[in-house]
Chains A and B, each alone.
Chain A
Amino acid sequence: MKKYIIIAIGVCVIWAIGMTYRTMFPPKADFLLLEQGQIVGDFSFETIDGDAYALSDFNGHRVAVHFWASWCPPCIVEFPHMIEYARNHPDIRIIAVSSDRTRDAMDRFFSRLDMKMPSNMMMVHDQNNHITQTLFSVFQLPETFMLSKDGVLDNHIKGPALLWTGN
C-alpha cells in the first residue's frame, strides 16, 4: 500500500514538474492540425512598429489572427471593414499578418488606405511566411482564425470574413 502511495506521489511530482516546465517553456506551436475547439498554441511575433508580443499576452481577450497581403484584392477590400470592426470592439485583439514580400508594399497600401490603425490591431510582416504557412497552414488569402478569450479556436474563416461588416 505504502508502495502505491509513493508511486502516486512520485507521479504527482513528475506531473507537477512537467506542468511547471510546460508553463515556463511552452512547446513550439505546430498548428498543422488546427481544428475548431482546440487551444491554439502560443507563438511570438513582432509588429511593424517593432513591438514584440506572444499570443499568450492577450489571454482574456478575444483574438482574431487575420492573414492578408496587399497584393490580394479581396484582402484589401476587406481591410477597412476590419479596422472599423476593431475600432467598435475595443476588447478584441486583431493580429493582421501580411504575406507581402516587401515592407514597402505594405506601407504603400497603408498610405493609400489612409486610415488610422486602432491600437488593438497589430500589424505583422510575415516575410518568410513562418506564421502564415508553417504555423497556421494558410496557403490562400484572406483567412481569419477567431479565438475565444481562453485561446480556443472558435471559427476558421476562409475568404473575406463577413463578421467585420456584421453579416
Chain B
Amino acid sequence: MVRFRNIKGAVLTALLTGLVMMGISSAQAMNPLPNVTLDVFPSQSSVQPGDTFDIVIRQNIRDNWHTYWTNPGDSGEPMAIEWDIPQGVDVGPIIEPTPHRISYDPLINFGHKGQPLFVQSITISPDYEGSSLQLVGQASWLVCDEICIPEYQDISLNIPVNTATKGDVINQALFDEAYRNLPQSTNWQGHIQFDEDAKTIALNIDIPADYHNQMTDVTIFPYDWGIIDPQSDVMADIGDKTVTFTATKGNRDMADIIALGTTDIVLQTNGGDAFIITLDVSPVATQTSSTGTGIGEFIAMALAAILGGLILNLMPCVFPILSMKALSLVQLSETERKQAVKHGMAYSAGVILSFAFVALVLIILKAAGASIGWGFQLQNPYVVVVLIVTLFIIAMNLFGFFEIRGQFAGIGTKLTDGHSPKSSFFTGVLATLVATPCSAPFMASAIGYALTQSAFVALFIFIMLGVGLALPFFILTIIPSTQKLLPKPGAWMETFRQFLGFPMMASAVWLLWVLQQQSGDVAILYGLGLCLIMTLILWLWKRNIGHNVIAGLSVVTLILAVWYAPLLHKTTHINHIVFTQETLNQTLLDNPDRPVFVNMTASWCITCLVNERTSLSASSVKDAMMDRNVIYIKGDWTNQNPEITKYLESFGRNGVPLYIYYDVADKDTGIRPQPIMLPQILTPNIVTNTLYRQTTEGE
C-alpha cells in the first residue's frame, strides 16, 4: 500500500516537474526582454469636457535596433495602436516624427532609432460625464536589427476630468521636442508627373523662394508605398517658382498610383527641416502631352486614322468582305436601293462600335498597367486561333463550299434577301474582327499616338479608324450615283467571289504560321485540326444530316478545343542574340568602339519579315555589318514583352518594326552620339548608308 502510494507520488512529482519545466521552457522560447518599451505622456494634468489635447507616445528603442515609419521603405511595418475608446472620446491618427533612412544592404528602409516621439490628439465631447478619462490600448510594432521581432505592449492613460478649471500644462519640454521633430504642414502646391517610360517620376512643387537654397540636397519620404523607389537619389531642378525633383519610380502599378488622386510626402531639406506636401497625381504620361503640338497633332492623327482605316479595306483579310458587300449592291432593284442606306448605316455602326470596343479593351488594359500596343490581340494565341477558324470558314463560304442564307453574316448574299439591316451590322462587326490581324500604313502612327493620350482622345482616334474602314461602303449606299462605278452584274461575280476566297485563306495560312511561332509546332496541329472538324461540321450541314448530329459534334468539338487549349501555351524561342534592356545597356557600355544595331520584330509583323528578307539579309548589308563590326541585337515582340514595349515607347513607337542604330562612342569623350531611328520600311541602301554615314561625318 505504502509502495503504491510512493509510485503515485513519484508520478505526480514527475508530472509536476515536467509541467514546471515546460512552463520555464515556454517562457524561454518567448523573447525574454523587449527591444522597445513605450511610455505615454499627456500634455495636461487634467482635462475638461470639450477639450482637445495631445499625448506623446515615446518608443525607447534598444541601441542598434530600429522601428519603422508609416511607409517603411523597402520592407518593415509601422507601429499600430488599438485604443479601447470610451464613449464620447475621439482619438486622432498617430503623427510620426520625420524618419531616418536606414540602410540594410541592399535595402533602404524608413524608420526610427533612439527615442522617437509620436503625437496623437484626443478629443472629449462636451457632454462627457466621467470623473476621469481612462484609455487603454495595445500597441504593436516591428523592431529589427539582424533579426526582426514583432513586439506588443499594453499602454494606458488616466487623467482626471475637472469640469471647473482648465488643467495645467505638463511635460512641456518633451512636447516641445516632439512638435519640433514632426514635419511641418505646408500649403505648397505640387503635382507628380510620370515619364513616358514610367521609370522616372517628377515632383513639381511651388516652393517659396526663401526656401530655394535649402532644396539642393533633399530627402523625400513618401507616405504611400511604391511611388518613389526608396533607393532612388533625388535630383532637384530649381526654377523661378517651381522646384522639380526627379527620382526613380517605385514598383507600384501606375494605375494604382493614379487611383490615389493625391499623395503626401515629407520633404526633408539639407538643413534638416521637414515639410509635408500634398501632391496631385497626374493621370496622363505627361511628357508628350505637355510638350506635344496639341490640337494640330490631334487633327493630323485623326486624319491618319481615317486614311489608315480606308487603306485597311484593301488588306487581304478585309477586302473580300468589303467586295462582296459592295457587289451585293449591284444586284439591287430600284426600289430596293432605298433600303441600301439603312444597310450602309448599320454596317458603319457595326464597324465603328467594334472599333470603340477594341479601344475600350486597350484603354482598360493600359489603365490596369499592361504594356501593350497595336498587335496586342495577336500576342494571344487563343485570339489567333479564333481568327484562323473565322477566316477559314469565310474562305470556305466564298469558295462556295456552303451557303449562308438568312443568317447574320450574309457575305455574298443580296442585301434584301429577307433579312434586316441587323445582318449588315454584323457584317461590320465581322469586317472589324477579320481586320484585326492587319495593320495598314498610317494606322500604326495613329494608334501609337492614341495610346499615349487620354482615354477620350484614344477612343476618338479608334473611332476615326472605324470611320475610315466603314467609309467606302457607306458612301456607296448613301450616294447612289457612286454605285455606277461598280461593274455590271453578271456570271463573273461568282468567279470573282470564289477567287476572293484565296486572299482570305492566305490570311488564315499566315495566321497559322504566326500561331506556330507563338506556341510551337503542335499548335499547327491544333489549328488545322479545328479547321478540319469545322469542315466536317459544315459538310454534314450541307448534306442535311440531322441537326442533332451537328449539334452533338459541335459540342464535342468545343469541349475538345477547350481541353486541348493548353497546347497553345506559350513556348519561348531563344534567338541567337536576344534583347533585354540590360543586355543592351551592358553591350553599349562594354563595347564603346563597336556600333550596335537593334531590330525589334514580331513574326506576325509582315513589314518586319519583309525587311528582314529583303534588306537585313541582303549581302551588301551583311558585308557592311561585318565591316563595321556591328553588334546585332534582336528583340522578338511576337509574344508580349513589356521590356520591348517600353523600349518602343522610348522612341515614340507603339509597334514593330523598330530599327535603332547606335554608332561608336566618341574617342575623346567616350560618349555615343544620339541613336538613329531607321524608317519602318527598309532598303539595303538605307541600312548601309546609316552604317557608314556617321563614320563619314565623324571623319
A residues with a Cβ closer than 8 A to B are: 32-33, 69-77, 99, 111-112, 137, 139-143, 158-160
Contact = CB atoms under 8 A, between A and B. Distances in A.
Given A71-B75, A71-B77, A76-B75, A140 B105 contact: no
B487 interface: no
Contacts of B107: 73, 76-77
A70 to B, nearest CB: 7
B294 interface: no
B75 A70 contact: yes
A2 B106 CA distance: 75
Interface in B237-287: 251
22 contacts: A69-B148, A71-B72, A71-B75, A71-B77, A71-B148, A72-B76, A72-B142, A72-B144, A72-B148, A73-B75, A73-B148, A74-B104, A74-B144, A75-B75, A137-B30, A139-B29, A139-B30, A139-B149, A140-B148, A140-B149, A141-B148, A142-B148
A32 B147 contact: no
B186 interface: no
Nearest to B143: A140
Contacts of A139: 29-31, 149-150
Contacts of A141: 147-149
A32 B22 contact: yes
A9 to B, nearest CB: 25
Contact of A73 (B30, B109, B150): B109
B335 interface: no
B25 A32 contact: yes
Contacts of B104: 73-74, 77
A51 B402 CA distance: 50
Contact of A140 (B31, B72, B74, B106): B31
B65 to A, nearest CB: 12
B699 interface: no
- For the residues of B in contact with A, the DSSP-based class is mixed
Given A73-B74, A142-B147, 19 more contacts: A32-B25, A71-B72, A71-B75, A72-B76, A73-B75, A73-B109, A73-B144, A73-B148, A74-B144, A74-B148, A75-B75, A76-B75, A77-B107, A137-B30, A140-B149, A141-B148, A142-B148, A159-B146, A160-B146
Interface in B650-693: none
A158 B145 CA distance: 12
- For the residues of A in contact with B, the DSSP-based class is loop
Contact of A158 (B74, B75, B77, B147): B147
Interface of B: 22, 25-26, 29-31, 72, 74-77, 104-107, 109, 142, 144, 146-150, 251
Contacts of B22: 32-33
B76 A73 contact: yes
Given A32-B29, A139-B149, A71 B106 contact: no
A69 B77 CA distance: 11
Given A70-B75, A112-B251, A77 B147 contact: no
B105 A77 contact: yes
Q: Which interface residue of B107, B146, B149 has the most chain A CB atoms within 10 A?
A: B146
Contacts of A74: 104, 144, 146-148
Nearest to B75: A73
B147 A71 contact: no
B148 A77 contact: no
Contacts of B146: 74, 159-160
Contacts of A73: 74-76, 104, 107, 109, 144, 148
Nearest to A140: B149
A143 B29 CA distance: 13
A139 B33 CA distance: 12
A112 to B, nearest CB: 5
B42 to A, nearest CB: 31
A73 B26 CA distance: 27
Contacts of B148: 69, 71-75, 140-142
Nearest to B78: A71
A160 B106 CA distance: 14
A22 B147 CA distance: 38
A9 B106 CA distance: 66
Contacts of B105: 77
Nearest to A136: B29
A149 B144 CA distance: 33
B12 to A, nearest CB: 21
Contacts of B109: 73
B29 A72 contact: no
A70 B77 CA distance: 10
B76 A71 contact: yes
A32 B150 CA distance: 19
A166 B435 CA distance: 57
A77 B106 contact: yes
Nearest to B253: A111
Contacts of B147: 74, 140-143, 158-159
A33 B76 contact: no
A87 B86 CA distance: 55
B25 A33 contact: yes
Q: Which interface residue of B74, B75, B76, B77 has the most chain A CB atoms within 10 A?
A: B75
A77 B144 CA distance: 13
Contacts of B72: 71
B523 to A, nearest CB: 23
B64 to A, nearest CB: 13
A74 B637 CA distance: 38
Contacts of A143: 147
Contacts of B31: 139-140
A137 B28 CA distance: 10
A28 to B, nearest CB: 15
A74 B147 CA distance: 6
B106 to A, nearest CB: 7
B209 to A, nearest CB: 40
B149 A71 contact: no
B68 to A, nearest CB: 8
A11 to B, nearest CB: 18
B666 to A, nearest CB: 36
A99 B31 CA distance: 17
B468 to A, nearest CB: 40
A111 B369 CA distance: 14
B72 to A, nearest CB: 7
Contacts of A99: 150
Contacts of A142: 147-148
A111 to B, nearest CB: 8
Q: Which interface residue of B29, B74, B149 has the most chain A CB atoms within 10 A?
A: B29
Q: Which interface residue of A69, A73, A111 has the most chain B CB atoms within 10 A?
A: A73
